[in-house]
Chain A
Amino acid sequence: MTIRFVSALLMMVFMAAPAPAHEEKSENLTISHPWTRATAPAQKTGAVFMEIATNANTTDRLVGAQSPDAEIVQIHGHSMENGVMRMRPVDGIDVPAEGKAVLEPGGFHIMLINLKAPLFEETVIPLTLEFEKAGKVEIEAVVEAAGAGGPSTGSGTMHHSGGAHGR
């Protein structure tokens, strides 16, 4: 057990105290309202949306994600040309210095492919996000209605990870 682990534990204690509406914080990153939509049993995909803000003065980058609930997890973006929607995997999403990255319908999302079970409304799914600088951050996305256009304001389960410093 290293000093890093102890400091991570301490950080958890500090951060666990006031629980704001569904937010996840690593040292510099704040991930707000991660959400996704309910799926039908035959529906094999889902998209996870959130806002990722950093108070660091350097740009970070979301470079990957995993979830135990999906076989494949990719970062996707959309482009619209002549009314044709194209959804494509992207290498990553920049979180600009002292700014934020927004993952929202019609823009960027984390795509869950080959869901192992349907996503039910009012449950949560765990995800591990991987950032170039902040390392791994654990979050839980709230499952909203299938046709939801955004996150409901209710708070989800807090789950603080000590693994804010990946490397």
Chain B
Amino acid sequence: MRRKLPIAVVVAVVAVFALGAWLNLRVAEPPESAAVGGMVINVDIGGPFELTDHTGTRMTNAALRGNYALIYFGYTFCPDICPTELGVIAAAIDELGEAGTRVTPVMISIDPARDTPDVLAEYVPLFHERLIGLTGTDAEIKDVAEQYRVFYRRFEDPNSTVYLMDHTSFVYLVDPDGAVASMFRYGTPAEDMADTIRQHMHSRARD
């Protein structure tokens, strides 16, 4: 018994490592549907919304149907991450050239207290002439954020009179049927984003 115990331990350890390696491989293996630069969506994400755009007009997700959309959740008080991502979105659309006219850029505010339609109206044209800014009531924003699995939370800095927002920073590619086709992590280069969109457009044209 004394001799067998270490063997059992070794077997157990090897088994655990083998299982780990196998799991790792499975995770690392890119599924066939994976698009360059985009993340594969395995969960039900996205959905209908009704919000107010930067002109003060009520708008639903139906208005985006028929075209692709790049949706970003951010806020205008955000000095770095949001302008960076909106810049990437605009650059990706430019990169697509003519095909870029079939992509609508959208920013949904997760800070509706500050981001009124008037504030958004001044903000959005700085990034792209067709960028749509959306805001709403707290409940409306909470609802759309939940559908897109967006986490956001107010952070009160004890040393400051202003608050910041913690938030997930993904860009969602929504297809002409309103389904989320890809998600892009913060830091995805505009060229990669454009490549993924082009691939979706091509595979759709083939179908």
Q: Closest A-chain residue to B151, C-beta based?
A: A84
- Give the residues in chain B near A40, CB-CB below 8 Å: 76, 119, 122-123, 126
- Give the residues in chain A near B186, CB-CB below 8 Å: 80, 83, 85, 106
Contact B84 A105 (CB under 8 A): yes
B:73-97 near A, CB below 8 Å: 76-81, 83-84, 86-88, 90-91
Contact B123 A85 (CB under 8 A): no
- Residue in contact with B126 in the complex, picked from A44, A89, A146, CB distance below 8 Å: A146
Q: Give the one of B160, B164, B167 with max A CB within 10 A.
A: B164
Q: Which of A108-116, A123-131, A158-166 contacts B (4 or more CB under 8 A)?
A: A108-116
Contact B119 A42 (CB under 8 A): yes
Shortest Cβ distance from residue B151 to the other chain A in the assembled complex, whole angstroms = 5
Q: Render B171-202 as a binary contact track against A, CB cut-off 8 A, 1 for contact.
A: 00000000000000111000000000000000
Contact B160 A45 (CB under 8 A): no
Interface of A, secondary structure class, is: strand
Interface band, chain B: 35 or more
Shortest Cβ distance from residue B43 to the other chain A in the assembled complex, whole angstroms = 13
- Give the residues in chain A near B91, CB-CB below 8 Å: 147, 149
Whether B44 sits at the interface, judged by CB under 8 Å, is no
Interface band, chain A: 35 or more
A:20-42 near B, CB below 8 Å: 37-42
- Give the residues in chain A near B127, CB-CB below 8 Å: 146-147
Contact A148 B87 (CB under 8 A): yes
Whether A117 sits at the interface, judged by CB under 8 Å, is no
Knowing A84-B151, A89-B160, the reply to whether A109 touches B166 (Cβ < 8 A) is no
Whether A53 sits at the interface, judged by CB under 8 Å, is no
Q: Which residues of A does B touch, CB under 8 Å?
A: 37-47, 72, 74, 76, 78, 80, 83-89, 105-106, 109, 111-114, 145-149
